[in-house]
Structure 1
Amino acid sequence: MNRPAIGVVGFGVIGQRWAACFAHAGHPVRVFDPASKSGAAFGEALPQLMADLDALHGPAEPAPVLLFPTLAETLADVGFVQENGPEDLALKRRLLAEIEAHVGDDVVIASSSSALLVSDMQEECRVPGRIVLGHPFNPAHLMPLVEIVGGRATDAQAVARARALYEAIGKKPVTLNREVTGHLALRLMGAMWREAIALVRDGVATVEDVNRAFMYGPGPKWTLQGSFISNSLNADGIDSFLQKYGPTYQAIWDTLLDARLDEETIRAVAASTAAAVDGRGADELKVAREAGLVGVLQAVAAHGAL
């Protein structure tokens, strides 16, 4: 089966991992990036990226990933574009408009932006209806989540087509019905992390113990079933759970702490994090994280509720 070629514009860490995902799923990938060293970095990373994807999805014969010197050559005959430029609104607007000049009007263009709104990015586009957000989660070749959202001018069909493509390459997309700052997962993380930082700042617990509380408390169950389904199993369904434990949660919500990232808070969190890291380097921790993620995601694939 011939799969459409994918254009990848911007070939840093995110772009490289997107390219690996598309290629592993059988899509030829055509890449443009003005950084001359990105191709060499990808060549060094590719064997491990493919080994991770083989472990997660099964062995595959990947399609080629080819780099081109110009955007026009890169985007010739592609069926979808994944844009991964810097988080700069003016640059994004120019880049998306330039991408449009080299693809057909029916080609969906997805941005990996983590912070910008699609409505703002698509303002200068000739065909704004085909611009969507396709925001991955790090490490992007392993983490299944992709957040999809359209802007004010986005066609619903473009959102549906992006979702279908991401699902076909093994991702787990979610679609937002309207734009919000931070999209979906980052907002959930932000709410939890605000409380975690405040607890460390106020000396309630160390970073190590806050991490342990989540890793060995709700973390495994929520990983498999999410919070709503998991909590419903602690009672006779979610209605029963909310009625039974509602007062407890309301009491917690009424006393949640606030966090501002002032210098004192940053110092307190940094010191406690350094103690939790205990001399281990970033490379060591990343290798351990990505090796562990394969097993976790295999378990979720086998036993997850969604």
Structure 2
Amino acid sequence: MKTPDQIHRVAIVGTGLIGSSWAAFYLARGLTVIATDPAPDAEQKLRHYIDHCWPVLEQLGLSPGASRERLHFTSDLNAAIEKADFVQENGPEREEFKVQLFARMDAVAPADVILASSTSGLAMTAIQRDCAHPGRCVVGHPFNPPHLIPLVEVVGGQATSPDTIESALNFYRRCGKHPIHIKKEIPGHVANRLQAALWREAVHLVNEGVATVSDVDAAVSWGPGLRWGLMGPHLILHLGGGQGGMSHFLDHLAGPFSRWWQDLGSPELTPEVQAKLIAGVNAEAAGRSINELEAERNRLLLGLLKLRRHE
């Protein structure tokens, strides 16, 4: 596989929301991006998205050589990847579609080029099954939006080589991401499963009338969410044990936590529950548009990311 310093041209396959965000990120890191998507208006939407993101990326800090002029677009899949040094796929989240797409890419991409999928929950073992060179296929799942959030989950399939996994981790790390290696394939990987677990209980609390949508959100963002932006749940609870650390914490609170787990809800997203959530979110937004909320999120994220740079 190519080493990180040999990767200069990244092919972005699929330029929806995730693909466009990836394209903006790689351009900001000084790489050349060759994007491809069959939709007739894909290039226009992609360039508009990158222009929209660029001021935020400038605030975060551009790498030497970063330029929107390094973006190239083609509707020809083969032309996009035949000279690429790394491929980031962002097609529809349908297994059979990705199986066929990876087989096509595998037939064209140079043998030492990694084929990474942004899939949020599919298994690479299935996606790589029709590839002649499955060892270079890997999941490189970002967290949304990829141009801002550092996390990338790297997951190999049964046929993925250890060299591919290590090379992908090193490449993402060199680009300024914080990659983690998921050692076992599981639906939804890790971060989305954690997010789903929290949201399940949040929906349950709203549906049971325990708290409003806005108060549940406040309970997270003004409470444990502040700590989670700095450390994960295990390390936070380790601190919660004082000088005794996790051992002391478990001695005192393993019982209560176990009882709370048993009492957690399992709501269903029925039309009635969905209506409650939509009404609650609209009330919490208080007339603010998606663009206004996005700008607020980005402003706060930039502050946190700049703070964490100095760790």
TM-score normalized with structure 2 length: 0.92
Do 1:8 and 1:84's aligned partners in 2 also have CA atoms closer than 8 Å?
A: yes
Structure 1 residue 258 corresponds to structure 2 residue 266: yes
1:69-108 alpha-carbon deviations (Å, 9 max, x no partner): 4222212321111111111222111111111121122211
Q: Flag the 1:240–1:57 CA change in 2: closer, same or farther, 3 A.
A: farther
1:92-147 alpha-carbon deviations (Å, 9 max, x no partner): 11111111121122211001111221111111111111111111111111011111
For 1:48 and 1:279, locate their aligned partners in 2 and report how far apart those are by CA, in whole Å.
22
For 1:106 and 1:29, locate their aligned partners in 2 and report how far apart those are by CA, in whole Å.
18
For 1:251 and 1:299, locate their aligned partners in 2 and report how far apart those are by CA, in whole Å.
37
Q: Which piece of structure 1 moves more, 265-274 or 131-140?
A: 265-274
Q: Flag the 1:202–1:166 CA change in 2: closer, same or farther, 3 A.
A: same
Do 1:54 and 1:60's aligned partners in 2 also have CA atoms closer than 8 Å?
A: no
Which residue does the alignment assign to 1:209? 215
SS at match of 2:209: coil
SS at match of 1:279: coil
Do 1:4 and 1:28's aligned partners in 2 also have CA atoms closer than 8 Å?
A: yes
For 1:59 and 1:95, locate their aligned partners in 2 and report how far apart those are by CA, in whole Å.
31
Which residue does the alignment assign to 1:277? 285
Number of paired residues?
303
For 2:192 and 2:54, locate their aligned partners in 1 and report how far apart those are by CA, in whole Å.
27
Matches within 5 A, 1:148-297: 148-235=154-241, 236-297=244-305
> C-alpha displacement at 1:302, in angstroms?
2.7
For 1:84 and 1:297, locate their aligned partners in 2 and report how far apart those are by CA, in whole Å.
25
Structure 1 residue 33 corresponds to structure 2 residue 30: no
1:16 to 20, 28, 31: 20
**Alpha carbon RMSD of aligned pairs, Å?**
1.7
For 2:279 and 2:305, locate their aligned partners in 1 and report how far apart those are by CA, in whole Å.
31
2:80 to 74, 78, 81: 74
> C-alpha displacement at 1:60, in angstroms?
4.0
2:65 to 55, 61, 64: 61
Please tell me the residue identity of whatever aligns with 2:158: R
SS at match of 1:149: strand
1:146-193 alpha-carbon deviations (Å, 9 max, x no partner): 111011111111111111111111111111111101110010011111
1:46 to 45, 50, 67: 50
Which residue does the alignment assign to 2:108? 102
Q: Flag the 1:77–1:58 CA change in 2: closer, same or farther, 3 A.
A: closer
Which residue does the alignment assign to 1:127? 133
Please tell me the residue identity of whatever aligns with 1:34: P
1:204-227 alpha-carbon deviations (Å, 9 max, x no partner): 000111111111111111110111
Please tell me the residue identity of whatever aligns with 2:296: A
SS at match of 1:225: coil
1:113 to 110, 119, 142: 119
SS at match of 1:183: coil
Please tell me the residue identity of whatever aligns with 2:257: Y
For 2:158 and 2:63, locate their aligned partners in 1 and report how far apart those are by CA, in whole Å.
40
Please tell me the residue identity of whatever aligns with 2:130: E
Do 1:71 and 1:102's aligned partners in 2 also have CA atoms closer than 8 Å?
A: no
Q: Which piece of structure 1 moves more, 239-248 or 263-272?
A: 263-272
SS at match of 2:310: helix
Q: Flag the 1:100–1:202 CA change in 2: closer, same or farther, 3 A.
A: same
Q: Which piece of structure 1 moves more, 176-185 or 244-253?
A: 244-253
Please tell me the residue identity of whatever aligns with 1:263: P
Structure 1 residues not aligned, in runs of 5+:
none
1:137 to 143, 146, 152: 143
Do 2:28 and 2:62's aligned partners in 1 also have CA atoms closer than 8 Å?
A: no
SS at match of 1:285: helix
Do 2:123 and 2:187's aligned partners in 1 also have CA atoms closer than 8 Å?
A: yes
